[in-house]
Structure 1
């Protein structure tokens, strides 16, 4: 394989990958790839149609094809490609298929039901699923945690308030608090029921049984005791106070509806806002309700298949992220090709930068509650999500614009720099959306059984911020950079890797940090760099590639390994090793050869596996773009560094 990878072969791989990527660029210069999660989101879309009595049978049939196709051999549904049975995902999928019209005695339904019952039945589902079951009247509301809507009235300084939790938790929870207060019932016009999924009669389910993924300990038990006290106490809340809280929640949602991009620009929040307006009696054609419904429809993805049209619903979209990352790959490709340099950025990058400039966030979002004096400047993940820009997207876009050298972007890059500096947490790290959002005990409240209520600093996001600041090279930023580097050193695992919060997993985290250490000027023989690079080499597969499964997020799960090599993770490992100064190591050459050997005829790569994470152990993501632009970036950088006298990358990313 290595002998066949001649410079001409490598150049051909790069050019074909670049041509493929340019072929999917939108006319206005941006790129957006599919973002797939698991069966829960498309299942919830079907159930929402039945909740509202707005059933589109044709669309439901298309979603049904998707749900049936991804049913696993174990009979149920998993949270990621080839994953283990998940009770909550399986209950929602079964419910959706039954609502679509699948007969309970159909073989696939029988297999699913047997798997669900063997796992303890629908009473064992997580909190979000239990709320769905309560809305349909399948379980009493006592089967869900107590969630008084009066929480929205608490100030940011209160021990527990909506300002103490992450953006995603905030936007999902606020409309759900209204639903919990009003306790509406789904219209369910066809009377679909799933009593057969309960081991005990649903009406006898007296308490919720979920436990935080963080474990069952004194914190969790303490909050469950508080939960038990809140239930009778809620009855004593004055009616005027409750109405004031509902009004405050509605005002919160209305201010952040975000047009056709939706509340928080994420499906659960958007769906909850639709149900909230419906429960309040807001007509479907009211601009608020109509726009909220449209935001959901825009998440649908349709594909022609041999069995007919198949549709699924994305959890959100990722155009800013995709456009910026693809831009870095395009710049890397152009660095030497045809005698061009990154100082003569391709026209495609100029168009992407122009598109990105139009999406710069210039308003104060929720982050300003903790930083009222900080000027806005940055980018969100989606088309629009102005209340919730994130430092990860901001750093990646900022590095692209700075590297492109376009004077028209200089002011936006400077605003991004100031904003990122102001978003640094006290411990030196960066969270994605908020500052010091790390009140750990809140992850044990009954509602937070997913264990991801917060947005604390993470290694991958911190690395991106450091890379950006180092690339800009302002001497006055060095103290912030040094605090970030110290935090990263403290987070390095014993084996040399770093945890990947937003991408799978230790390969992603380790690559991200090695880029930051390179940008910060750490020598390749720095102990942290050596240990990280040695770890990447130690988990390389025999075929020369790398792969890591979502099982790495499980306690004691395997790190940096999977049953086969994957394009995105092979690219990350190669990029990480090159950032560590090992461009001429055999491990890098073998990784590059693996990427070249597995490129498709069309110029891209295949990767059905999930490659990122929403909430570790609970919600995983498959970025369809990762298998395209990261291999292009890795191959191009390898070519460029191999022809250089320097082993240093020279850029933050």
Structure 2
């Protein structure tokens, strides 16, 4: 820890030392082939689901289950004090019913007795919140698979949706990539309603306020609005009663279409959609269709699941929701380019060489349903996910490659061509109105978030400011500020600013993330630091700075029912290294390099750097689905503070290369 006087602005040797230590720490995590990949941790849900999946198929690894038990019980005891015995969605968050039910169920499967003290605390907490009947659709679906609730607790989405024409209001192409890959195999599972291969020997009636078979009104999503919600509930009522009436020939065709969809996108050992829920549903689907365990598709699907298992040196095991090597490598490259120097540049070049080999150029993915004439040329988030490149990743990779060639010379024809293709694909994915979504274009069918199956409110992938910010930054760095896509993107970002000066952050927590994304992009696009939007954003950031000099925010700041902001927005959270770094980068992009807020924030980072040159961060600052699913990116605490401190040093030294780049 560095000792600094309160009034001392970090610069010179003390700043150089902190940057050098953080640089060495980040370089130490680079893999031999050039890429970075850090742990990506969610809540208790994914490891709990892994235990359920294994047990459904009669699989049991007692040593691994014991390690998962240690992980789940530590989360309950140490990470969830405000959950009062249950499990939260993020560090020190409130109890989440669905997460808690799954964690409790997993511990029962592993062998924890229901009268054990920690299980009693969990059960009491769940019952106090209305019991397991208040769980979300996906949790109730899992409980139905094990016979814990009747199947009428699960809304119907029949496999026949795969036969609907593209113009139909619920064509599969109208929902997001993640929903698509999860729902398609799940339609077969929910229609076939399989049973565990071996009885588990208990039920979960103790988690229900009233017996599950007596529950008549299962919850919908708090976000759902009339008259759509009533209309879709009536449709579900009819489908529940018509389940057995679908013509067999149509059902066979529909299930074959589902199987074909999944098999085409199975994605080798990186898995369907490269996300855990879709991978698990693929295994269940193949089982329902009678595909033997020895079939290469099933073997591969199980192998993909196992690649997500994270065995820690402390004897714990958890399961990651997906892997993030493209994102981690691109961000680490940006931080090291900001640091500068031959050693950092050499490491970045190795990372970029690794990235260029993973560009998706030969697969026309699902995005083409909206952009059929657009040539592919982007990157996924994961090691491989060819049908689902990510606009955000693609823009950030292109920015890193372009910055490297500007500062260190030619990168070769192959990489130059990659930047050109990425630019063309990103521009082609721009939605109407000037914004970008993450995986699809014009994915704005908001009525679909009212179907009973969408109680999470995360069925769609509409444009967001944070993704748009990266795309605008890419265009600016490629010297395309005067083009129509860039102008429309600027207008979109300005129009999305909240009344108090912040921007919503879809993929990071939350307004600090969104405001960083917007300000860096607007600065790169040439918007004046004196622009009213810039000044309002600066005032908002300064007003949300904690007394200790850092910034913090948790998942409770996301809008609640009806899109209204919760009261928690006015209460900054505990300072974190990644959010403090975002705030510093945002303020510097708005011309506040010499401000007291920047000086205090930089001091906070220096004072909290640990002996390894990194930062400790318990909080979840990444977002999967707002109010549903959050992420702890273990790389963020290693990357963003280094990036912010290096930029501060560069700007203090009048380094013009820093102000000429998009991010």
How high is the TM-score relative to the length of structure 1?
0.96
- Report the CA distance shift for 1:70/1:111 in structure 2 as closer, same or farther (over 3 A): same
Cα distance between partner residues in 1 of 2:116 and 2:227: 45
Aligned partner of 2:345 in structure 1 is 346
Cα distance between partner residues in 2 of 1:278 and 1:215: 33
Cα distance between partner residues in 2 of 1:561 and 1:646: 37
2:257 to 230, 240, 248: 248
Aligned partner of 2:174 in structure 1 is 164
What do residues 225-269 of structure 1 show as CA deviations (whole Å, max 9, x unaligned)?
111122223333210000100000000000000000000000000
Answer yes or no: is 1:289 the counterpart of 2:298. yes
User: How far is 1:211 from its partner?
Assistant: 2.0
Aligned partner of 2:557 in structure 1 is 552
Cα distance between partner residues in 1 of 2:20 and 2:67: 37
User: How far is 1:147 from its partner?
Assistant: 1.2
Aligned partner of 1:326 in structure 2 is 332
User: How far is 1:558 from its partner?
Assistant: 2.7
Question: In 1, are the aligned partners of 2:42 and 2:629 still within 8 Å (CA)?
Answer: yes
User: How far is 1:95 from its partner?
Assistant: 0.6
- Structure 1 window deviating more from structure 2 (134-143 vs 163-172): it is 134-143
Answer yes or no: is 1:183 the counterpart of 2:193. yes
Give SS of 1:59's match.
helix
User: How far is 1:596 from its partner?
Assistant: 0.7
User: How far is 1:345 from its partner?
Assistant: 6.7
1:300-449 maps to which residues of 2 (within 5 A)? 300-305=309-314, 309-334=315-340, 337=341, 346-362=345-361, 363-405=363-405, 406-408=411-413, 409-449=415-455
1:64 to 50, 62, 69: 69
Aligned partner of 1:605 in structure 2 is 615
- Structure 1 window deviating more from structure 2 (191-200 vs 611-620): it is 191-200
Q: Give unmatched runs, 5+ long, in structure 2.
A: 406-410, 561-565
1:133-148 maps to which residues of 2 (within 5 A)? 133-148=143-158
Cα distance between partner residues in 2 of 1:55 and 1:216: 43
What do residues 195-241 of structure 1 show as CA deviations (whole Å, max 9, x unaligned)?
2112222222345x222131453221221111112222333321000
1:50 to 47, 55, 59: 55
- Report the CA distance shift for 1:359/1:213 in structure 2 as closer, same or farther (over 3 A): farther
Question: In 1, are the aligned partners of 2:292 and 2:298 still within 8 Å (CA)?
Answer: yes
Cα distance between partner residues in 2 of 1:281 and 1:235: 20
Aligned partner of 1:227 in structure 2 is 236
Cα distance between partner residues in 2 of 1:157 and 1:345: 51
Answer yes or no: is 1:451 the counterpart of 2:457. yes
Answer yes or no: is 1:28 the counterpart of 2:33. yes
Cα distance between partner residues in 2 of 1:410 and 1:440: 38
Question: In 2, are the aligned partners of 1:466 and 1:520 still within 8 Å (CA)?
Answer: yes
Give SS of 1:10's match.
helix
Aligned partner of 2:496 in structure 1 is 491
Cα distance between partner residues in 1 of 2:597 and 2:182: 44
Answer yes or no: is 1:39 the counterpart of 2:44. yes
User: How far is 1:517 from its partner?
Assistant: 0.4
Aligned partner of 2:162 in structure 1 is 152
What do residues 443-494 of structure 1 show as CA deviations (whole Å, max 9, x unaligned)?
010000000100000000001000001101146x611111111111111000
User: How far is 1:21 from its partner?
Assistant: 0.4
Answer yes or no: is 1:78 the counterpart of 2:88. yes
- Structure 1 window deviating more from structure 2 (345-354 vs 390-399): it is 345-354
What do residues 484-519 of structure 1 show as CA deviations (whole Å, max 9, x unaligned)?
111111110000110000000000000001011011
What do residues 378-401 of structure 1 show as CA deviations (whole Å, max 9, x unaligned)?
100000001000110000000000
User: How far is 1:190 from its partner?
Assistant: 3.4
Cα distance between partner residues in 1 of 2:185 and 2:402: 40
Answer yes or no: is 1:238 the counterpart of 2:237. no
Aligned partner of 2:408 in structure 1 is none
Question: In 1, are the aligned partners of 2:159 and 2:191 still within 8 Å (CA)?
Answer: yes
How many pairs align?
641
Question: In 1, are the aligned partners of 2:269 and 2:300 still within 8 Å (CA)?
Answer: yes
Aligned partner of 1:267 in structure 2 is 276
- Report the CA distance shift for 1:412/1:646 in structure 2 as closer, same or farther (over 3 A): closer
User: How far is 1:371 from its partner?
Assistant: 0.7
Give SS of 1:47's match.
helix
Answer yes or no: is 1:12 the counterpart of 2:17. yes
Question: In 1, are the aligned partners of 2:449 and 2:460 still within 8 Å (CA)?
Answer: yes
Aligned partner of 1:651 in structure 2 is 661
Answer yes or no: is 1:201 the counterpart of 2:207. no
Question: In 2, are the aligned partners of 1:76 and 1:86 still within 8 Å (CA)?
Answer: yes
Cα distance between partner residues in 2 of 1:374 and 1:631: 37
Question: In 2, are the aligned partners of 1:507 and 1:560 still within 8 Å (CA)?
Answer: no
1:114 to 118, 124, 128: 124
- Structure 1 window deviating more from structure 2 (110-119 vs 246-255): it is 110-119
Cα distance between partner residues in 2 of 1:592 and 1:646: 20
1:527 to 529, 532, 555: 532
Q: Give unmatched runs, 5+ long, in structure 1.
A: none
- Structure 1 window deviating more from structure 2 (5-14 vs 229-238): it is 229-238
How high is the TM-score relative to the length of structure 2?
0.95
- Structure 1 window deviating more from structure 2 (317-326 vs 156-165): it is 156-165
Aligned partner of 2:473 in structure 1 is 467
Give SS of 1:558's match.
helix
Aligned partner of 1:90 in structure 2 is 100
User: How far is 1:532 from its partner?
Assistant: 1.0
Question: In 2, are the aligned partners of 1:583 and 1:647 still within 8 Å (CA)?
Answer: no
Give SS of 2:155's match.
coil
- Report the CA distance shift for 1:585/1:181 in structure 2 as closer, same or farther (over 3 A): same
Cα distance between partner residues in 2 of 1:584 and 1:217: 50
